Amino acid sequence: MNARLRKRHLIFWILILIILPIIMIRAKINIPQQPIENKTYSKINEQKPFLIKESNDLKNGLKFNFRGENKNQISQLEVILIKPLKDASSTLFELNYNDEKGTFIGEMNETGVYRFPLKEQRLYGVLIFDEIKKDVVIKKVFQWD
Amino acid sequence: MGLNYQLVLWNKNKKVYDRFILLFVLLYLLLFWGITLITNSNTSLETLTIRSSGTLAILLLHIILSIGPLARINKKFLPLLYNRRHLGVSMFLIALIHGGFSIFQFHMLGDVNPIYSVFTSNLDYSSLHDFPFQVLGFLALLILFAMAATSHDFWLANLSAKTWKTLHMLVYVAYALIVSHVFLGAFQQETSPYMPVLMGIGFVVLVILHISAGIKEVKKDKQTYEASDEDWKYVCEIDEIEEDRAKIFIVDHERIAIFKYENKLSAIHNVCKHQGGPLGEGKIIDGCITCPWHGYQYLPQNGQSPPPFTEKVATYYVKIEDKKVYVLPKPLDEGTEVSPAIIES
């Protein structure tokens, strides 16, 4: 390498050293945090309160169980993912009464049982949303008596 | 060096090296697929392909970017540098699989051209969380394509060394785009801290290697002298130069390599005409100074590549007085014949 090329390498690495850490750190700290009351924390995740209502969507390999316990004021949505979702990024949101994406509930990856704490014992519906494609994967409205 | 055009410049060493690359790639893919299928047997084939090829391409890019500074720091890594080009092309092919499958998976089912969809499906450039990260990956892939397509001495000769080197230094831009692509894309959904931490470690390692190699070069550059028509500059004692090796001397921030061979001394410009390799870190093989990067050769007494090759570098006058080596640091025209200084025993 001659002096010109060495200088060019140096400029590239100084720029990389300045720019990339900013992007890396800002990208990580700007991820929207879940509202604290909606976090799937381990304590409630281990709890399995009484079943209030079940609603199945077997075509998409999903079972929704609403669980709750008045004594301890626990409301929980149990989602059983029987078969994997096709989308790489699947996040669960409340469906509000305008049929639009509401509050973030949690993330789902592989098949299994997911338990999410809820503010109320009833939900109008849920949306499974692909954050990468910005696309609704599954919309589910619950029928309540 | 080769006279005839060949699609892939293979020799015995490169074939062995390429087998190692293939083995490593297969082993990585097998491990990735095996571990993923054991821990999450329902993962789809498309997702497995996208993730395994993406992570492998990033790993290979880190290895590729490490080879240059490693070879500057320790000569034991020079064989990796000699074979780096094939690793680069392999990395591009794996990145192409990642990009191709991603476009197929995420953009193929719409009613617009999938490439057009990459650039228009998300225009939220003001958001970090929803940033159109796929565009960054696509641009990086274009750079890697341009590099892989021109990774041949045919293009080096036709584009000129300056243009070729400028094009290939875009690898740093590609690296920055890829890191941003991953952090603004996949890591926005990643709940585990391990992958971002691993990527961060890779970045730190690369920065440390490049800066360490840079510091080593700066130290060499500091031993610099002004070029002059008359002043002979002291270089070193004769015994400080190993047989068939060189001592590098710096004038006006350019380097001169003074070679010792067959009881003679000759000096040439240190930069190889092929890809700017450091000739003074090579050795004399079959009577020719041989570049440690890609094996280009020059005759020590005139800086010319042996016929039929036409590359040539500048030469310098050298003299010996009381076992001390002196050089006249004004470069002569490239390929100028200079009588070697004779070492008297």
Q: Is A107 on the interface with B (CB under 8 A)?
A: yes
| Long-range contacts (CB closer than 8 Å, 24 or more residues apart) made by B175-178 | B175/A16, B175/B61, B175/B65, B175/B206, B176/A15, B176/A16, B176/A19, B176/A20, B177/B136, B177/B137, B177/B139, B177/B140, B177/B143, B178/B58, B178/B61, B178/B136, B178/B137, B178/B140
Nearest by Cα to B172 from A2, A25, A14: A14
Query: Is the pLDDT score of B1 beyond 60?
Result: no
- pTM here is 0.71
| Facing residue for B172 by CB, picked from A2, A12, A111 | A12
Mean pLDDT of B311-317: 92
Of B62 and A74, more confident: B62
Query: Is the pLDDT score of A36 beyond 50?
Result: no
Least confident of A91-95, A120-124, B258-262: A120-124
Decide: helix, strand or coil at residue A80. Answer: strand
Q: Chain B partners of A1 at a C-beta cutoff of 8 Å?
A: 271, 276-278
Residue A128 DSSP label: E
CA distance B298 to B313: 8
CA distance B166 to B162: 6
Residue B122 DSSP label: -
Q: Is A4 on the interface with B (CB under 8 A)?
A: no
Percent of chain A clearing pLDDT 90 (strictly above)? 15
Tokens 């006058």: give the residue: B317
Domain span(s) for CATH 1.20.120 in chain B: 12-220
- B226 pLDDT band, cuts 50/70/90, is low
Q: Which of A19, A20, A22, A90 to mutate to test the interface with B (most CBs of B within 10 A)?
A: A20
Q: Is B99 on the interface with A (CB under 8 A)?
A: no
pLDDT of residue A88: 60
CATH number of B12-220: 1.20.120
Query: Is the pLDDT score of B264 beyond 90?
Result: yes
Q: Is A10 on the interface with B (CB under 8 A)?
A: yes
Q: Chain A partners of B208 at a C-beta cutoff of 8 Å?
A: none
Q: Is A30 on the interface with B (CB under 8 A)?
A: yes
Distance of residue B43 Cα from the nearest chain A Cα, in angstroms: 7
Query: Is the pLDDT score of A39 beyond 80?
Result: no
Q: What is the pLDDT of chain B when averaged over all its residues?
A: 87
| Facing residue for A20 by CB, picked from B129, B176, B188 | B176
Amino acid at B332: L
Q: Chain A partners of B203 at a C-beta cutoff of 8 Å?
A: 20-21, 24
Least confident of A53-57, A85-89, B242-246: A85-89
Pairing relationship of beta strands B297-298 and B288-290 according to DSSP bridges: antiparallel
Q: Chain A partners of B207 at a C-beta cutoff of 8 Å?
A: 13, 16-17
CA distance B214 to B216: 5
CA distance B63 to A12: 18
Q: How many CB pairs under 8 A join A and B?
A: 96
Q: Is A110 on the interface with B (CB under 8 A)?
A: yes
Tokens 């800002």: give the residue: A26
CB-based burial, A69-94: b 16+ in 10 Å, e otherwise? eeeeebbbbbbbbeebbebbbbbbbb
Domain span(s) for CATH 2.102.10.10 in chain B: 233-342
Mean pLDDT of A15-42: 72
| Facing residue for B129 by CB, picked from A12, A31, A109 | A31
Percent of chain B clearing pLDDT 70 (strictly above)? 93
In angstroms, how far apart are the furthest CA atoms of chain A? 80
Of B1-15, B127-141, B149-163, B205-219, the range with the highest mean pLDDT is B127-141
Mean pLDDT of B296-319: 90
pLDDT of residue A34: 47
Q: Chain A partners of B105 at a C-beta cutoff of 8 Å?
A: 88
- Classify domain B233-342 by CATH architecture: 3-layer Sandwich (2.102)
Q: Is B282 on the interface with A (CB under 8 A)?
A: no
Of B317 and B109, more confident: B317
